[in-house]
Structure 1
């Protein structure tokens, strides 16, 4: 029998391999060459400095949304609202980035802090409703996603512009982009946000694993009644967990506003960064370093798939099927593990 730590490593690896194998079978069934398809996917992610830069650019917000969801999971909460937190973080970062003139050493951190605060506020609402009134966070966070989407569109059209469909570009002093980095990666949209994402991963790991506050947060997630009996502030920890989770998701929005785009357009639909973060967190085992690896895999699949239709005549939609199968196998593995443990207990 695997230990928990070994199992948490083996399950995602096997799930990825099974997902890729199932994807290959589907390609064969529909008359496509899976070898050519996966070669095209690899080349689309790593075939040139441009593709590699775009892959890292895509990985960056995935790390942050995956961390946001994983942090909430580890504290016993299901934050479906990362998507809305991304949107308000994006808006806040661009607002600060375009509205002020200041040296980069002040302007850029200020824009990042604004994004984190906006996401934290958006996480605070479901957190306090959960802590004080017992309202399930899934319901509130789903509702908050739609509120964020439509409020941000209204703010862009009515406050930040004169009936425009996008904000003004941010000032260079608030930008995560770099001409040097763009030239080095074949003029991709890669930016220095990857450093912010990795620092956030370290922060989440350190907070949860190495601090007393992190121990309390995890304890409340495991058993809030036992935590309350032990003298912990259950309600306060629930609110804090949602605030931190929202703040990290807000930073993911800043990666788009200050790095990839440099402005914020109105959105007719969700960005899906927050929803994809759920899959990243699940595949990463809700572990900070596992999330980094899972985000890298998702970035490779998302960017590499764009090369599949032209290089191998394989529809890029097949990659979405592969991702869904990977998540299916991850979930199935936990069900299998539960069944084996139950059978073992009954056999004693």
Structure 2
């Protein structure tokens, strides 16, 4: 079929009713095992967590460079000697993060120095290895010591978060648990084993009661748990300040706001001897992670917690009371956080002070959110935050980098992890969060292309139809002339044949006289009509 025939019939080749061609099939992509694995990794949380730390440490590197005076001096003559500035930047960043690693995980220079001392004293073999490892792994033991109460408190926070309640009262619940356990620890004399167990139970009960107050206010009066737990934090803080000024908590030493030391039977045993602070609370932290897993995944009460957190209305229809569940959630969460306070005072601090809680209560919120409120995630996040804390202190003393930089890195990590689409966008995986976006764009593009082709074909068909009509009228006029018909007797016919049809070579109807074709919009005659009238007048004069 020719192009003119296709235009006359109103269809283009391959389009319309006269088409025998079929559109190509959509592209089929074979999904391989490797592609599925890569997509699973890209959509998973592990990649987001790793890249969050990468971006946080990159921004931290910029802050380290800005804080280093030597680097700022070399940047002053960067264009003259760029090598000095680049070398200073590299040394500043690597030495700072190297010091953080030394203070958090392994102290390689300390290991070497300890080994050399033993060798100089005549030791060899295991006599060198044991002291060297003790010096090298000391930072790791400190990290585990700091992480122990943090993991236990984060488990309590995870219970409330997974139940849909935002518990901000970790500091108050931890202080109350530490106060109760500490008081029993230094005020009573109980048998070994029993004394420690009683102190731990009392600390957990005190934290549960303190959390249950916020739960009761939530269940009975509908009070916002965020406000009530924050206010309970301040009440517990000032209650500790008051208690440390009374004879019951200070004993004979009333000049300093500290309590007597915990009794020997109530102290958590040291795992590596008196030279290290790591204690048996590490096993309690591991047990808290297991309890969190069993409570939220295998128990009936944990199912009620998750049901209320997912959809309170549906849970109420199913017979679960949201009010009673809210009370139980905050009581259980408070008990775990109170246990963390008891472990902290019985194992690490071994006495009550005004700063016994530190930042554990608020850091537990961050760790629980960072660990997605899961047991494995909480353990890893707790170890990480503890490593940043211990390594940051060593970095400050060894390299002069401000400790506040560690808190900036922690905040940046949480910020990036809280926004996975931002992280995926920064690493070029934006389409992971919109898996059908590419296909929709391609389909819309194909639809627009098809519509444009159809419009072009329709325009070509209309133009071909006008051309065919003009050609037909021209043929008829030529036939009349060849048969001897006089156009003089039919001036209108001559005028009609002389003027081209509208829409062909003369432009569309209604064009102005300046164009030379068409009808004047002011009612005048076109040039072709004027020529036809002049020819008719001349013929009449000859006659």
Residue in 1 that maps onto 2:191: 103
Give yes or no for the alignment of 1:145 onto 2:239: no
1:330 equivalent in structure 2: 417
Aligned partner of 1:79 in structure 2 is: 167
Correspondence for 2:286 among 170, 189, 198 = 198
Unpaired stretches in structure 1, ≥5 consecutive residues = none
Measured after TM superposition, the shift of residue 344 of structure 1 is 6.1
How far apart, CA to CA, are the structure 1 residues paired with 2:51 and 2:180?
A: 40
Q: Secondary structure at the match of 1:104?
A: coil
Q: Secondary structure at the match of 2:418?
A: helix
1:14 maps to what in 2? 51
User: 1:286 maps to which residue?
Assistant: 373
Tell me the equivalent position of 1:125: 213
Mapped partners of 2:342, 2:311: distance in 1: 34
Q: Verify: 1:35 aligned to 2:94, yes or no.
A: yes
Tell me the TM-score normalised to structure 1 length.
0.91
1:15 offset after TM fit, Å?
1.5
How far 1:10 moved relative to its partner? 3.0
Tell me if 1:51 matches 2:139.
Answer: yes
Aligned mates of 1:314, 1:336 — CA distance in 2: 27
User: Any conservation in 1 of the 2:171–2:357 contact (CA below 8 Å)?
Assistant: yes
Q: CA deviation at 1:7?
A: 2.7
Q: Give the one of 360, 379, 383 matched to 1:296.
A: 383
1:250 aligns with 2:338: yes
Answer whether contact 1:257 1:264 (CA < 8 A) is retained.
yes
Q: Is 1:65 aligned to residue 153 of structure 2?
A: yes
Structure 1 SS opposite 2:155 = helix
Task: Give 1:167's aligned residue.
Answer: 259
* CA 1:336–1:312: 2 relative to 1, 3 Å: closer
Q: CA deviation at 1:308?
A: 1.0
Q: Choose between structure 1 and 2 for higher RCO, CA contacts under 8 A separated by at least 6 residues.
A: 1
The alpha carbon displacement at 1:131 in A equals 1.4
Q: Does 1:316 align with 2:407?
A: no
Moved more, 27-36 or 236-245: 27-36
8 Å Cα contact 1:12/1:284 also seen in 2: no
- Tell me the residue number matched to 1:273: 360
Judging changes above 3 Å, is the alpha-carbon distance between structure 1 residues 51 and 228 closer, same or farther for their aligned structure 2 residues?
same
Residue 255 of structure 1, CA deviation: 2.1
Alpha-carbon separation, structure 1, partners of 2:301 and 2:240: 33
Task: Give 3-state SS (helix, strand or coil) of 1:182's partner.
Answer: coil
Q: Kindly indicate whether the alpha-carbon contact (under 8 Å) linking 2:175 and 2:341 is maintained by their aligned counterparts in 1.
A: yes
Question: What does residue 181 of structure 1 align with?
Answer: 272
Over the residues paired in the alignment, what is the CA RMSD in angstroms?
2.5
Equivalent pairs counted in the alignment come to 343
Q: Displacement, 1:182? A: 3.2
Aligned to 1:26: 63
Q: What is the SS of the residue equivalent to 1:157?
A: coil
Residues 63-95 of structure 1 show CA distances to partners (whole Å, capped at 9, x for unaligned) of 012112111110101110001011001101111
What residue ranges of structure 2 are gaps of 5+ in the alignment? 1-37, 69-88, 108-135, 425-429, 441-543
Return the structure number with greater helix share. 1
Q: Whole-Å Cα distance in 2 between the matches of residues 25 and 239 of structure 1?
A: 46
The answer to whether the Cα contact below 8 Å between 1:11 and 1:333 also exists between their aligned partners in 2 is yes
Q: CA deviation at 1:234?
A: 1.6
Cα deviation for residue 320 of structure 1 reads 1.2
1:298-334 CA-partner distances (Å, limit 9, x unpaired)? 0100001111133333222211111111011112226
